[in-house]
Amino acid sequence: MKIRPKQPAPAAPKQVHTQSRFGVQWSDDYAWMRDDNWQAVMRDPSVLNADIRAHLESENAYTEDALAPLTDLKDKIFEEMKGRLEPTARGVPMPDGPFAYFHFYREGDQHGVYARHDVAASDPQDDIILDCDAEAKGKKFFDLGDVSHSPDHAWLAYSYDDKGSENYQVFLRDLESGEVSSTGIDRSAGALIWAADNRTLFWVERDENQRPYAVRFRDIFDARGKIHTAYEETDPGFFVSVSSSDDDKYIEISAHNHTTSEIHRIPSSVPQTPPVCFSPRQAGIEYSLHDQGGTTYILTNSGGAVDFQIMTGESGQTPEQWKSYIPHQSGRLILGMESFAHWLVRLEREDALPRLVIRNMKSGPDYGEEHAIEMPEAAYGLGIKSGYEYATDTLFFSYASPSRPGTVYRYDMKTRERVTVREQIVPSGHTPEDYRVERISISARDGESIPVTILARKDVQIDGSNPCLLYGYGSYGITIPAAFRTNLLSLVDRGMVYAIAHIRGGMSKGYQWYLDGKLEKKTNTFNDYVDVGRALADLGWTSEGRIVAHGGSAGGLLVGAAMNQAPELFAGVIAAVPFVDVLNTMSDTELPLTPPEWPEWGNPITDEDAFKRLWSYSPYDNVTARNYPPCLITGGLTDPRVTYWEPAKWAAKLREYQTGEAPILLKINMDAGHQGESGRYDSLKETALEYAFALECAGLS
């Protein structure tokens, strides 16, 4: 193995920090890595404790030295990935009255520009309304939060974060004069919503612990800049978001955690009106609202609809008073829906494959008639491309498979005519027929059938000789789509098999699939992942000890727990911003995500069963003396989701207990947060490093 650090690994000092709960006493020797002033660090990284900074910088220097032999490979992969991106890629113009709005890149752009053109012009010209690269100039980090034009097309509101902490500053641009003004808003959660009066702007504000907790609004023409509160959430377990209803008649405020939601509405034409709760929150009941033809359609899990159903109801009613419209069907998960003046569109998934279903809502002989848009491949991704117009027969949707580049279609819901409006181009060349895509099922240790998506070169031999990158997530109901990712070709073309394990904790096989991978059933997620790895070896796609585990955030928890369970299965582990200090994080009520995520993991502060469960699988707390595979662990200093000290503590403890010689490498981005490097090219550098590490672990470097 080329990864042989010349300098000794950083020796993190140990400071005994003992805790006791439910009669159990345990010690966390690396708790000192958590800066007590972490909230200030999110806003200004320069105030980080000097000892912590020195340790993180020593870790970064060690990792840079260790990975130096992979520089040429990393650079080559980066150039390959860059060569697969369209230098001047253009998004699909989305019509909104007299204009169509879109995003595109100029040659060399990292962030691109937002533009519009006159839909009536015979030769429409691009009118740039926001130059993101110009906004990002001179900033170490730049992440655009939202770009939102007023209904009369006179104003543009936009937000960006230049720290990685997800605190967005908000600006206004006069689209006639081009003049930009700062609003003074600097703790926005990102989304910006205009009221119908073309002067009132709504946003969500974060509290001191980084939680989105309040909806504010202001009249942009008010010289005093007075800020008003539309809604403020008092329960720290609920996050707040703001949006517009499908027909733009309402400003919608959602208070929600992972299992419960509550929606408040304000007439968009009278934005100063106090919000009205549509239906008060009930634990375990989720719902969203979609208006069509004077009726409110409700996508909900109410009434025991595990995979959701569509109901009708009125403001002020309880879920028990709603009426079923499209009944629940077990195994058919309704993922989302959109309403139009004459149509209802729902995106649903069954047996891990999505489809779009169009329902005619126009009065007449075809009222209520449905048809589905399905695709023929074994595995694919499908999604609605939301537009601005409500009174339209046009639907935009996207399609891709692991071997086939993405395509955007304009679909006439009335005539059922499908027109290709954009095809993803791979400038360096790509032939889908050179690859094989398979959807297989493997049997988990408890007999459950786990779907797996596989991408490989067409000529790959299924004889156990192939290394494999096994990707997984398995939390929050998030499902990893079988989409086209050009970056993966740098692995697959070198002989690696790429596999996605659609494990419990996601919703590949319905909402129950999610329920079977959370709380007291969480270990199913880790077992499924390990079982998929072993099954791929048994089937000849790879062999044990030739699998590189890859997961990020909660997927980092996954690969950390899997590595503790079966270290011999893996040739290497890539854990990006990994959520691995589960017990401590879920016990820290100051952190942004802790109270809202108790429904996902359990509350170890008050619930002894939850405490013992988290303690039993938390990767950090279950590190023991063993021969761990090589690990590349990443984090971001200003990450509000998985704080930097989680990966830092885990790396130190893994290195302390490592009985073998494989390196434990930590790389903390000192200028970014959860998403890593910003910019479409700079972000590739991190991926190139991860893939170079994976290929080295697999013996393909």
Return the active site residues.
553, 639, 674
Residue 131 burial by CB count (10 A; 0-12/13-18/19+): exposed, middle or buried? middle
State how far the Cα of 109 lies from the Cα of 402, in Å rounded to an integer: 26
Within 8 A by CB and 6+ apart from 671, the residues are 45, 140, 141, 164, 637
Task: Report the b/e string of 78-87 with b at 16+ CB within 10 A.
Answer: bebbbebbee
State how far the Cα of 244 lies from the Cα of 264, in Å rounded to an integer: 11
Residue 8 burial by CB count (10 A; 0-12/13-18/19+): exposed, middle or buried? exposed
Tokens of 185: 């808003």
Q: Residue 206, Cα to own-chain centre: how many angstroms?
A: 19
Q: By 3-state DSSP, what share of the chain in percent is helix, strand and coil, each rounded to 5?
A: 25, 35, 45
- SS3 labels along 30-58: CHHHCCCCHHHHHHCHHHCCHHHHHHHHH
| Contact by Cβ (8 Å): 532, 504 | no
Q: Residue 528, Cα to own-chain centre: how many angstroms?
A: 21
Would you mind telling me the total number of residues written for the chain in this entry?
Answer: 701
- What is the Cβ-side half-sphere exposure of residue 653, based on CA atoms within 13 angstroms? 24
Nearest to residue 148, comparing CAs of 165, 130, 134? Answer: 130
Contacts 24+ apart (CB under 8 A), 410-416: 410/92, 411/373, 413/340, 413/343, 413/345, 413/358, 413/360, 416/371
Within 8 A by CB and 6+ apart from 179, the residues are 173
Q: What are the residues facing 497 on neighbouring strands? A: 468
DSSP string, 334-382: EEEEEE-SSEEEEEEEETTEEEEEEEE-SSSTTTT-EEEE---SSS-EE
Task: Report the b/e string of 263-298 with b at 16+ CB within 10 A.
Answer: bbbbebeebeeebeebbebeeebbbbbbbbeeebbb
Amino acid 217 reads F
Nearest to residue 42, comparing CAs of 595, 640, 576, 590? Answer: 640
| Contact by Cβ (8 Å): 409, 417 | no
Counts for the chain of helices (H) and strands (E), in that order? 13, 38
Within 8 A by CB and 6+ apart from 134, the residues are none
